[in-house]
Amino acid sequence: MKRLLMLIGVLAALTTSAAPLRIHLIGDSTCATKDLAGENPERGWGQMFEPLFDEGVEVLNHALNGRSTKSFRDEGHWTEVLSDLREGDYLFIQFGHNDQKLNDSTRYALPEAYAENLRRYIREARERGARPVVLTSVVRRHFTDGRLDDTHGAYLDAARRTAAEEHTPLIDAERLTRTWIEGLGDAASRNFFVWVEAGTCPRWPDGREDNTHLNIRGARTVARLIAAQLPATLPELGRHLVGSDFTVARDGSGDFFTLTEAVAAVPDFGRDTTRIVVCEGVYREKISIPATKRLVALTGRGAVTVSWDDHASETGPTGHRLGTSGSSTVYFGGEGWTVRHMTFENTAGRVGQAVAVQCLATNLRFIDCRFLGNQDTLYLYGVGNRDGKRVAENARIRFEGCYIEGTTDFIFGSAAALFRRCEIRSKADSYVTAASTCRGQRCGMIFEECRLTADEGVTSCWLGRPWRDYAQTLFLRCWLGGHIRPEGWHDWDKPRARRTVRYGEYACEGPGAAPKARVGWSRQLSAREARQAIADFDR
């Protein structure tokens, strides 16, 4: 097992050390990143591009409002981009809207000059070892008799011809967006551009009808149309695409600014998986996921933390104490969620019960997630405490490669839960688990190949104590730190529970593994019993 863990660690280090592929974007306002002041609804497609990839791709959006192939170079912006280009980088080039500005000598370029400008960008990028890609312009939304007007004319042919002559990949954004917008029609396509009714947006109090610039939905759609060409055109980039239905980003590059908004957008009682990507940042939110929001894949991109600071003794808005359940940062009430690369924390401090995550639904799965808190960090609520009443089935929850920390009873509740290859870290001398497994339940908490560690100075912890009399907690092939007490288990001053709990260990290692010193009412399991415990959970 030790050799396997070492190999996994080496492979992980090699994977994470690889530098991401870089995509540089140069272009005009249809691509550029927009400021968010005044609840600005406008977005450039380049602003929405990076969240469509995994962390193996970094997008640097240098596009600027109002620039042409001429002015972008003349104003010195190209010099800055060129100096940052590295061997192997991609350069996406998309101009055309402003090259047509006949009455503006700082931007205007004849189609022939436009083609020559593109050629210079291509060749200079290649001299730096970068890989240029030409994109035609996004269409303007001008209809005549149900068809979009051709507003780019010879500039489209110039871009296509130059890409072919320079043997440069072409993404024909004009054709992609023309097909899309014409398919929608005049009225419906307005919903994807900056059409704002008067009195609805602080940025445009008098309203706005803009047929060139995109709103969030429009920019997201264009970004996806372009990304969809990558597997065939640029397969190295295409391999890094991540499918998603919604993106959450604090910087405006997503569909929503908050996870709460994304949860609300999930279809009720959906039959297909809804995919949500959350971009890097700390999201100060208290989130309640109802039972109607089911079958969701939630993935963090970069360091993503959901944080709140309620605690049980805090007074709520109605004047009553919140209680343990009411203190949770996130409630998972919808079944079938798979959560990856997310951190959930309760920052209330050492003030008693303060839950980071409460799991009420079944078929939840957490992969490479972190749960941070103190007392009662992770609440495996399931069907709740039944106080001796028989329950045939409870919620089943999986944790894989996760980190869970806390002080007292920081993993607790009645649900069946399998923790596989997780780190369980004690921050104080106290109790790790407090199961309240229901009577008749096939299994409770199972820790398989986990590591139990502790903060410096923590020297005296119990593996668990029974919150209810039929508590079940098993540690299988785990590494137990020296902070685990030799007796291992505590009865919570309930002698009767010694006859009904199921506390067991199998093949555990480390300074805290002391099978001969364990309390007599716990068990050292056989290999067959350990296998059966996992089989019971998977059943």
User: Does some domain include residue 404?
Assistant: no
* CATH number of 153's domain: 3.40.50.1110
Q: Residue 407 has what DSSP assignment?
A: S
Domain endpoint, select from 197, 214, 238: 238
User: Does some domain include residue 3?
Assistant: no
DSSP string over 411-452:
EEESSEEEEES-EEEESSSSEEEEE-PPBT-S--EEEES-EE
Do 332 and 217 belong together in one domain?
Answer: no
For residue 471, give the amino acid letter.
Answer: A
Do 207 and 258 belong together in one domain?
Answer: no
Domain endpoint, select from 238, 267, 295: 238
Do 233 and 262 belong together in one domain?
Answer: no
Do 357 and 430 belong together in one domain?
Answer: no
Do 222 and 106 belong together in one domain?
Answer: yes
- Going by C-alpha positions, the residue among 124, 73, 128 that lies closest to residue 95 is 73
Tell me which of 89, 99, 376, 469 is the catalytic residue.
376
User: Does some domain include residue 171?
Assistant: yes
For 262, the domain range is: 245-381
Domain endpoint, select from 180, 215, 238: 238
Do 253 and 364 belong together in one domain?
Answer: yes
pLDDT in tens, the chain (539 residues): 445 444 444 444 444 457 899 999 999 999 999 999 999 999 999 999 999 999 999 999 999 999 999 999 999 999 999 999 999 999 999 999 999 999 999 999 999 999 999 999 999 999 999 999 999 999 999 999 989 999 999 999 999 999 999 999 999 999 999 999 999 999 999 999 999 999 999 999 999 999 999 999 999 999 999 999 999 999 999 999 998 999 999 999 999 999 999 999 999 999 999 999 999 999 999 999 999 999 999 999 999 999 999 999 999 999 999 999 999 999 999 999 999 999 999 999 999 999 999 999 999 999 999 999 999 999 999 988 777 678 778 999 999 999 999 999 999 999 999 999 999 999 999 999 999 999 999 999 999 999 999 999 999 999 999 999 999 999 999 999 999 999 999 999 999 999 999 999 999 999 999 999 999 999 999 999 999 999 999 98
User: Does some domain include residue 12?
Assistant: no
- Going by C-alpha positions, the residue among 443, 430, 439 that lies closest to residue 497 is 439
User: Does some domain include residue 408?
Assistant: no
User: Does some domain include residue 2?
Assistant: no
* CATH number of 433's domain: 2.160.20.10
d(CA 325, CA 336): 21
- The phi and psi torsions of 259 (rounded to 5 degrees) equal -70, -30
Please state the pTM of the whole predicted model. Answer: 0.90
Retrieve residue 217's tokens: 């939905």
Query: Is residue 491 annotated as part of the catalytic site, yes or no?
Result: no
**Residue 25: partners with Cβ closer than 8 Å, 6 or more residues away:** 31, 46, 49, 59, 60, 61, 62, 63, 92, 94
Tell me which of 99, 409, 469, 491 is the catalytic residue.
409
User: Does some domain include residue 471?
Assistant: yes
Do 392 and 538 belong together in one domain?
Answer: yes
Do 259 and 370 belong together in one domain?
Answer: yes
Do 32 and 139 belong together in one domain?
Answer: yes
User: Does some domain include residue 159?
Assistant: yes
**Dihedral-angle region of residue 530 (phi above 0 means left; psi in -120 to 50 means alpha; beta otherwise):** alpha
Do 394 and 361 belong together in one domain?
Answer: no
Do 371 and 392 belong together in one domain?
Answer: no
What total of structural domains would you count in the chain? 3
Query: Is residue 376 annotated as part of the catalytic site, yes or no?
Result: yes
Do 374 and 438 belong together in one domain?
Answer: no
